[in-house]
Structure 1
């Protein structure tokens, strides 16, 4: 699989216009805080960009960030501007051609951002074998990845390595491609399907289980969109399979609960994060308006209180009084009249 990916992204694709689907195309509107940074990205870097989402979570100033599958370096350079001169961004990629593009423009972006010294560097390596690189355990505040983990032949190893490298309370924030069912094995060796991020896509529920197995107990979906496949040959090959681009955030927090438990807690967002004055998006189920008391489960409470977001919230309640499952979290009381009657296999 390594050779397929290297050939596709290093030689077959000359630019984003050569892609056969919109899997590796970012269609999200660019936030205002990112637009002036994007305007400074070197054209060769942006021309070789194949990401599927925006991977710039809030509050990155001064942080140390690792980009898994950094490609031509566009995300790294955007992040380098956001972390500032006191932060650092490290990109890891296995494709020589992409690394050459990224390394060629380090000085260009240092000057464009007005930094005295560059705060970004690129390393050649394989995402499954990050332990072979000079990267210390618990040394990164945030790890990002943009439409790359699906290309790995050992996705569990990638997630485990990310968990190892994150600091306690750190965050894995990444976009990738997922399938609505398990992709048939016979499609996995198709170089176009693999290069287009389809053949290697995880079934979404398998991803959730892998994440939990390596220590990310409560993955949170931030946003998603269905993928459009315009090539009729690819449409015929994939049949009923449906694919989605999705952004998840996974916090490295010990002892998160396996379900959303209700302790009567709530938070109030102060509106003090730059660019997010009106609301804060924890995930697609938690759009927290400024100044409004917002009930949360125990896990969400900890994701805000024990991470870099804490100073921007007021917190109410504790863990002394458990009130059962948090209403609306997707799990309901299985007994008696409170059970919701739906058709299903069990």
Structure 2
């Protein structure tokens, strides 16, 4: 019928409006959060990251609401896009790591947050000793990056810190990210995931959505969406359990488990998993001269041969890491004594259980039944 609104669009606009209010008006600092979803990352911070964080203005860090640490390796000179940058903490952190020749763009839909971020641009550039600014902030939606002025194939890396769960259209977020990444680019992000698809009554709750729980993806849907868009298989980096820590929110989410997990996706040709290859890390990545923990499955020691599958070989050979590794042809395996990768699934709940972070048991019945077929 002419003039009838698409109910999906109405829902999207309602969620966006609720999130804007929550992060622009209700939350004034991290102390206003009602759950522990947005707390410290699962791993200790490297020394150089701690030092860089100390240079970020306190007004910026006070309004930090991330759930992980989005600092990938090998950043010098890179152009990085931060989805849902908020007050800009991660942007100012990464500004120091990419250097004056690199560049950081933060995009957010909440003007109140962007006002805080923009207020301190000149102060940080002076503090970092830069003659020209390498940070800017754009108002826009992470589902429509190109409409916000982000050019296709323009960025080496995209990061996101506990923001994708706030989007009502996560498939569009991944598609847009893929489009604006250069060939060989990486999407490195932390987010909140559930052990199954959440029911409508949880997804409709404004506070749960604002606290990064109501919009949490079932982790298997992330794997499906990423591969449909064209990314390589998601590489799980780390994970930690989220205990809600609020009696009312715990009641509303009873029976569901949540984790904060970091994944990395690459825009590279897909290699075959059964095509094994030998690689050797040269030890030249700043801050990781001896050991590079690439993900939960692969830890590369400088000067030591390591076995990888064809997909990992494609990632290392076609991304910014290509200059940091020497790859041997598939037939050369017998000539080396190789470190083998850990046998690990992409399931963050299994990683948490393996690490002993908390007791996590698989969900059975109910929400994870046949109706939750992947990407249905």
Superposed, which structure 2 residues align to 1:173-252 within 5 Å?
173-252=188-267
Say which SS state the counterpart of residue 130 (structure 1) adopts.
Answer: coil
The whole-number CA distance in structure 2 between the counterparts of 1:130 and 1:92 is 9
Would you say the 8 A contact 1:21–1:229 is kept in 2?
yes
Residue equivalent to 1:268: 280
The whole-number CA distance in structure 2 between the counterparts of 1:136 and 1:178 is 29
The whole-number CA distance in structure 1 between the counterparts of 2:181 and 2:271 is 16
Residue equivalent to 1:25: 39
Say which SS state the counterpart of residue 309 (structure 1) adopts.
Answer: helix
> RMSD between aligned alpha carbons?
2.1
Q: Deviations over 1:179-218 (max 9, x none)?
A: 0111111111211100110000000001110111111131
Would you say the 8 A contact 1:139–1:167 is kept in 2?
yes
Residue equivalent to 2:329: 317
Say which SS state the counterpart of residue 183 (structure 1) adopts.
Answer: coil
Residue equivalent to 1:293: 305
Would you say the 8 A contact 1:54–1:175 is kept in 2?
yes
Would you say the 8 A contact 1:145–1:175 is kept in 2?
yes
The whole-number CA distance in structure 2 between the counterparts of 1:328 and 1:38 is 34
Question: Which of 70, 84, 88 is the matching residue for 2:103?
Answer: 88
Shift in Å, 1:290:
2.1
Residue equivalent to 2:319: 307
Residue range with higher mean Cα deviation, 33-42 or 23-32: 23-32
**Are residues 1:149 and 2:164 paired?**
yes
Residue equivalent to 1:9: 23
- Aligned pairs, number: 327
Give ranges in structure 2 of 5+ residues lacking alignment. Answer: 1-14, 334-340, 347-363, 370-376
| Higher helix content, 1 or 2 | 2
The whole-number CA distance in structure 1 between the counterparts of 2:40 and 2:103 is 24
The whole-number CA distance in structure 1 between the counterparts of 2:143 and 2:332 is 41
The whole-number CA distance in structure 2 between the counterparts of 1:112 and 1:271 is 30
Say which SS state the counterpart of residue 188 (structure 2) adopts.
Answer: strand
